[in-house]
Each structure stands twice: as C-alpha cells, then as structure tokens.
A and B are shown apart, each in its own frame.
Chain A
Amino acid sequence: EVQLVQSGAEVKKPGESLKISCKGSGYTFTNYWVAWVRQMPAKGLEWMGIIYPSDSDTRYSPSFQGQVIISADKSITTAYLQWSGLEASDTAMYYCARFGTAGGRFADYWGQGTPVTVSS
C-alpha cells in the first residue's frame, strides 16, 4: 500500500527554523517526484515545489523560490521542507504529494498534512 506519512504538528516563533518531513512507503521512492503544497487557513492549494529523490532534481514555484528549501534522503525514503526564518504568514497546512514522471503528471497519493503555526 502506497503511503506518504508526514511529521506532526509544529508551533514555532517568528524567526525560528523548521524542517518537516514526508516518508514514502509501499512504492519505489526514487521513481516518483514528491511535491509540497501549502494551504493557508480557509484558503486554496498552492503548489510550492517538487523534488525527484533519485537525483535530488528540484523545481520551485516562483512564489516560493528562495523562501523554502526542498530536499530528500532516498536512503530513508523521506522528503523534507524547511525554512530558515519563519514568519507568521507561514502559518498553514502543508501537504506532500506523489507526482509521476512522464506517464503520471498528477498527484495520486497525498500525505495527511502537517499543520504549522507561527506565532509570537
């Protein structure tokens, strides 16, 4: 069974750093892309960026380029999303999602979401 299991809820202060994770199982982790999607409170989905764990090829939405870092450790089938200096506006639910390659350009499996709260 394909699963993406995300790390738990986080409460942070502005300026702090954070790294959340998404562990894939039940499939060949290096054969699929893993994307991160932001959903701010009562708002829509925003595509942040994507990584191909096989070679760590990473692409970012222009809106998030330079704001976050996406990485992966294929040895433990885990993708990461990290911030070096959180802001209150980073408060949101963050989802990871599996995207296919040439024959599967859609997100067929999603993590359960990681809520992040940034407040002083």
Chain B
Amino acid sequence: QSALTQPRSVSGSPGQSVTISCTGSSSDVGGYTFVSWYQQHPGKAPKLIIYDVSKRPSGVPDRFSGSKSGNTASLTISGLQAEDEADYYCCSFAGSYTYVFGTETKVTVL
C-alpha cells in the first residue's frame, strides 16, 4: 500500500487556475470512486474539500473541483486566492475499509 503520488509543489498568481494530480493504481484510485481531497494550513488539522472524486462539502467554495481518469485523480483550484495557499492531500479508499493518502503538495500563491 504505497502512498499516492502528488507533485511536490504547484504555484500560480491570484485569479489563475492550478491543478494537482494524484496518481495511484487500480487497487486504490482506479478501483473506486472514493477519492477525497484535504487542505491543511500550517499548524491546523486537515479540512475536507472534495469527496467522492468531485463532490464539495457544504461551505467549500465552488472554485475547488475534482475529477478522475483511470488511476489519476485531480484537484483544480480556479480563481486562485491568497487563502488557498496551503498543503493539499488526496486520499483514496483502498478496499476493506483501508485508505491511503497522497504525498504532500504545497500550493503557493505568487
């Protein structure tokens, strides 16, 4: 059960769009529609921003969107804002009520 692969960092100017990829295998990302994304600001607990690949919890801005193709899921932040600067993690169900997180992606707003 290896960690899902995410880019180490992505950056963009305010108003631009950035996309974070999350690559796994047919045993996790590719095998289920249970990919979730979490935002973590320094010193804070993670916060759910996307679940079931593309659904947004109440209160999460619609500039956050998710998708999946094969073994790779993606998180897109459209209209980047200063408060979006944070660490982001994907997470996938991996069968038998086990889960696996992705490696950290640091989003920088230039």
Chain A interface residues toward B at CB < 8 A: 33, 35, 37, 43-47, 50, 52, 57, 59-63, 95, 97, 99, 104-108, 110-113
Total A-B residue contacts, Cβ distance less than 8 Å: 73
Measured between alpha carbons, how far is A111 from B45 in the docked complex, in Å? Answer: 7
A110/B46 in contact, CB under 8 A: yes
Q: Knowing A105-B34, A106-B36 touch, does A45 contact B101 (C-beta < 8 A)?
A: yes
24 contacts across the A-B interface (CB closer than 8 A): A35-B99, A44-B3, A45-B104, A47-B99, A50-B98, A52-B97, A59-B96, A59-B98, A61-B1, A61-B98, A99-B97, A105-B32, A105-B34, A105-B51, A105-B93, A106-B34, A106-B51, A107-B38, A107-B46, A107-B48, A107-B91, A110-B45, A110-B46, A110-B47
Interface membership of B85, Cβ < 8 A: no
Interface membership of B89, Cβ < 8 A: yes
B97/A43 in contact, CB under 8 A: no
**A37, A44, A57: which contacts B104 (Cβ < 8 A)?**
A44
Chain B interface residues toward A at CB < 8 A: 1, 3, 32, 34, 36, 38, 40, 45-48, 51-52, 57, 87, 89, 91, 93, 96-104
- The residues of B that contact A50 with a CB separation of less than 8 Å are 97-99
Measured between alpha carbons, how far is A44 from B89 in the docked complex, in Å? Answer: 8
Chain B residue nearest to A111 (CB atoms) is B45
Chain A residue nearest to B92 (CB atoms) is A105
Measured between alpha carbons, how far is A105 from B32 in the docked complex, in Å? Answer: 10
